[in-house]
Structure 1
């Protein structure tokens, strides 16, 4: 490793600062930071694709169905607290990613940032953890889709056919390439935005007595059966038991928010990545506030948490467990539940599609830098990392487990496995940002000159890091009341796996943690002139409207 530039002890503080601003680190070849010559992906995602992916790309069953489970487990206030806390963690992670990606919009995304600015072994563990977390989320969404199909067809003998159909379609969209992925997600995101907006409005109308039954619910269910459910763990103290019920919903809320970092992963395949990623990250705050927080508030107003039809950990397994479908049926609305179910079905497909895309690109990024077998880095002439996509697609077929084991059992297992992996990702992203922040400042770079800059940093990253740590450690606490080996493994197996990956790579490669003045903020990172084209002002009315929306 070599460092260009130096500071002279004879210089004053101002002169030292000026010289340091021109100082940067150039890595040696063994770190594989510059992979531009072998990186075969193309920038084909347009601005409208990126903006819609950022707003609604990974909204799926975690929100539309999972919110009902959170309501059943924590009550309306408990679900709201869980979603608000996890939403703040997710936003802190995306804000951290926004700054790092606006500086380095390159393949590999945050696992490479971790390897570049924290420790190569830490990046290795981050990458493989994220690949597994998102790859396993694909069968989660496919499993959820088969649950949704039972709203119309409850013949269990048809389940295998539906599962195969969804697996094939998800794989095909990704095999067709990033342009088809972008167009499909643009279309699906519009449907999801219309759906969640419509559900919130319809829920408010029904709550205020505007439905066919003219029953004004208001905050009735916050009083009876109550604002917070009981966990059923501490029978002697109702306050403690309710607090534990809220904690128990944090993992479910995590699955609803999982995948928000997709927009940063797509940076290497995005036109004008710095400008588009910055705009996308700024809009995510409103996505969290409107679609998740407002949505969970409305959910708690229209259905009581003890409703037997809500999504539970046992029994049933139909789309009628969605709180919105429940209230529409009971309010006497006959057609809308079918429309809602169809839209949620498309949302499940879209989320699975997005998870397959993000996990395959992380695998590709690992292969580029020697942290995965090199054949995963092979691209077609059209810029598709075909081997990475096909290999990751194989995990989608795990959805067939629901045919034999029962859809809900598999769904809940995969939700927990992927959610804890998601919290580990957020924990690692915020830790990486804290290293980035320290090194960036030490080497004299100015964060305010980045395309995306958050004035809440580094406090926001510290918040996300702290709460991610707490949730990772306590996520499986109910198992200690009624110990079950399989539940314990599902809750905590990701932790030893992550640290095993970290330690093994450190021992084999003899890596070390980067010091602030050793971090490389230059090698292999394209300049603004190389990635950004001058913005073209719209000239038509529709173009101006699109510019505001996208």
Structure 2
């Protein structure tokens, strides 16, 4: 007779079918087992991953300066985050990751301050800078697909103190962006329903939705971003086609009534291509830099990608098409359809108010009834996408900081589903700040929260480029060649220098426009001080964190000859693999070679 334990196991594996029994109790009994097993699996999935404990013991002996950089690199390399993101997820994150309110709504404020030529120039040059930055990030992330890549690269190739400042800078950016985006999503509902009392209800709905997506794991995040990005990309492509038709047939007469005349670049002559001179141009550079925020998430996701060596280069190449098609072409067309002196561009009550979107305004000017509502739906989805990325970006960064002992150790908790559980909970709790929307001081609270994240992306991009420059120098000094790299930045070190210089120029422009903004009145000194600190608050916060950590932990700038170029490398026989792929490419047809070169 079989032991009872075996019989129980067999019972657990049974499945009910109509042929197996006509007795309903058999189905109910099996459903009881299914429910019990589901509950047990769900409960156990939140338990700590046993592999996560290795990262806590890796710091058993710190160096004489109080920080063990080698152990930190090992901790991020051995992070138990699951590799569940596929190539299609990464590609859509790269293509649609930064398409959001910065493009759909923020571009309206840039148009009002600088004119259409300034918008086109600033977004194009910022796109070139970001292309160089993402290429540098791709080279580092393919070779070292480690958790919390931005801060980890700064810690590894620059200075652990700078890595600490960059990690917390990036985490704070997303932590405060989450409640802002949730409130913005609730405000998009005002486009149809002006009942203010419903805002708190929409805040709760959107917050629960975003939290549920992130608690479903990295694959849930990837699938959600895949859908969000498809919607955003489709909307931009559809708008470009519509804008061409509106430009050809969407002119107005002296009473601003549609008369079906060709517009061309009429608005570039009257009211003009530029506005507010050089200061107006600088202000649009700042807006353009903020609009591209989130592009670097493709590098953060490398640690959770099935095969970063193959999927990351393909995703990185998508940046060129996003910059060219989605930003440059769409904003060129917007500048031919909406004059910079349109009062509606500055009348938005939030960064997601569709009424201030030049995309919506251009459609309204053409007299099309339904499409403004469609664009508002796209703006809502874009806001939710940014909120979704907020929890993902902040939780992964906090977990990586904890792995390197630069944050409380409980944040390094990774459960059996590969979720940084405690970090996700902390990020989700920050979302409750969105209920400040019901407060009388909501505008002041949100302005200061936004100030904390205002310059975060600029520091992040500059640090990526600088880390790439230092890495290349160490790579050559330690006897390696560029042929050993699985992915090589096509713009090389010079591209990274362009990124560093451009980001410094944007910081200078932000300082100037913060100290003396467009339209500043000489009699409003108090408003000037408040505006400056709200525009530049992130800079002193970063400096204080860097100096404080450096003094307390006594870190040193990492010397080139001492850089660890081994820990975290995924491919040890890269030369053989690259040779095989090169031989395989010789048999590709011409169309495939062209496609792979471009995409």
TM-score (norm 2): 0.79
Partner of 1:345: 380
C-alpha change, 1:159 and 1:131, in structure 2 (3 Å) is same
CA–CA distance in structure 2, aligned partners of residues 337 and 67 of structure 1: 17
Are 1:223 and 2:269 an aligned pair?
Answer: yes
CA contact (8 A) 2:184 2:353 kept: no
Counterpart of 2:398 (choices 342, 349, 363) is 363
Cα deviation, 1:207-229, whole Å, max 9, x if unaligned, reads 11169852422111111111112
Partner of 2:223: 183
Q: Equivalent residue of 1:32, what SS? A: helix
Partner of 2:51: none
CA–CA distance in structure 2, aligned partners of residues 407 and 224 of structure 1: 38
Partner of 2:6: none
Counterpart of 1:263 (choices 298, 301, 304) is 298
CA apart distance, 1:283: 1.6
CA contact (8 A) 1:73 1:245 kept: yes
Partner of 2:363: 328
CA–CA distance in structure 2, aligned partners of residues 336 and 121 of structure 1: 50
CA apart distance, 1:405: 5.2
Are 1:437 and 2:483 an aligned pair?
Answer: no
Counterpart of 2:543 (choices 484, 493, 499) is 499
Partner of 2:313: 278
Partner of 2:210: 170
Q: Equivalent residue of 1:370, what SS? A: coil
Are 1:204 and 2:244 an aligned pair?
Answer: yes
Alignment of 1:118-133 (within 5 A): 118-133=158-173
CA contact (8 A) 2:76 2:403 kept: no
CA contact (8 A) 2:352 2:379 kept: no
Partner of 1:11: none
C-alpha change, 1:380 and 1:140, in structure 2 (3 Å) is same
Moved more, 208-217 or 119-128: 208-217
Partner of 2:56: none
C-alpha change, 1:529 and 1:175, in structure 2 (3 Å) is farther
C-alpha change, 1:448 and 1:153, in structure 2 (3 Å) is farther
Partner of 1:300: 335
Counterpart of 1:426 (choices 461, 464, 468) is 461
CA contact (8 A) 2:267 2:336 kept: yes
Are 1:394 and 2:429 an aligned pair?
Answer: yes
CA contact (8 A) 2:246 2:366 kept: yes
CA apart distance, 1:36: 6.8
CA–CA distance in structure 1, aligned partners of residues 422 and 532 of structure 2: 34
C-alpha change, 1:439 and 1:388, in structure 2 (3 Å) is same
CA contact (8 A) 2:160 2:556 kept: yes
Cα deviation, 1:401-445, whole Å, max 9, x if unaligned, reads 344358877766655542311111111111111111111111122
CA apart distance, 1:320: 2.2
CA–CA distance in structure 2, aligned partners of residues 37 and 263 of structure 1: 17
Q: Equivalent residue of 1:309, what SS? A: helix
CA–CA distance in structure 2, aligned partners of residues 317 and 308 of structure 1: 17
Partner of 1:151: 191
CA apart distance, 1:496: 1.6
TM-score (norm 1): 0.85
Partner of 1:110: 150
Q: Equivalent residue of 1:280, what SS? A: helix
C-alpha change, 1:336 and 1:480, in structure 2 (3 Å) is closer
Moved more, 79-88 or 172-181: 79-88
Counterpart of 1:486 (choices 526, 530, 555) is 530
CA contact (8 A) 1:197 1:291 kept: yes
CA–CA distance in structure 2, aligned partners of residues 388 and 76 of structure 1: 42
C-alpha change, 1:493 and 1:476, in structure 2 (3 Å) is same
CA apart distance, 1:187: 0.8
Moved more, 412-421 or 443-452: 412-421
CA–CA distance in structure 1, aligned partners of residues 399 and 76 of structure 2: 13
Partner of 1:13: none
CA apart distance, 1:314: 6.4
Partner of 1:63: 103
C-alpha change, 1:303 and 1:415, in structure 2 (3 Å) is farther
Partner of 1:510: 554
Q: Equivalent residue of 2:363, what SS? A: helix
CA–CA distance in structure 2, aligned partners of residues 190 and 443 of structure 1: 44
Give 5+ residue unaligned stretches, structure 1: 1-26, 231-241, 538-543
CA–CA distance in structure 1, aligned partners of residues 123 and 189 of structure 2: 27
CA contact (8 A) 2:451 2:537 kept: no
Partner of 2:232: 192
CA–CA distance in structure 2, aligned partners of residues 225 and 411 of structure 1: 34
CA–CA distance in structure 2, aligned partners of residues 424 and 288 of structure 1: 20
Q: Count matched residues.
A: 504
CA–CA distance in structure 1, aligned partners of residues 429 and 316 of structure 2: 31
Q: Equivalent residue of 1:451, what SS? A: coil
CA–CA distance in structure 2, aligned partners of residues 355 and 37 of structure 1: 23
CA apart distance, 1:158: 1.3
C-alpha change, 1:405 and 1:117, in structure 2 (3 Å) is same
CA RMSD between the two structures: 2.8
Structure with bigger gyration radius? 2
CA contact (8 A) 2:177 2:453 kept: yes
Q: Equivalent residue of 1:264, what SS? A: helix
C-alpha change, 1:414 and 1:86, in structure 2 (3 Å) is farther
Moved more, 494-503 or 394-403: 394-403
Partner of 1:520: 564
CA apart distance, 1:356: 1.9
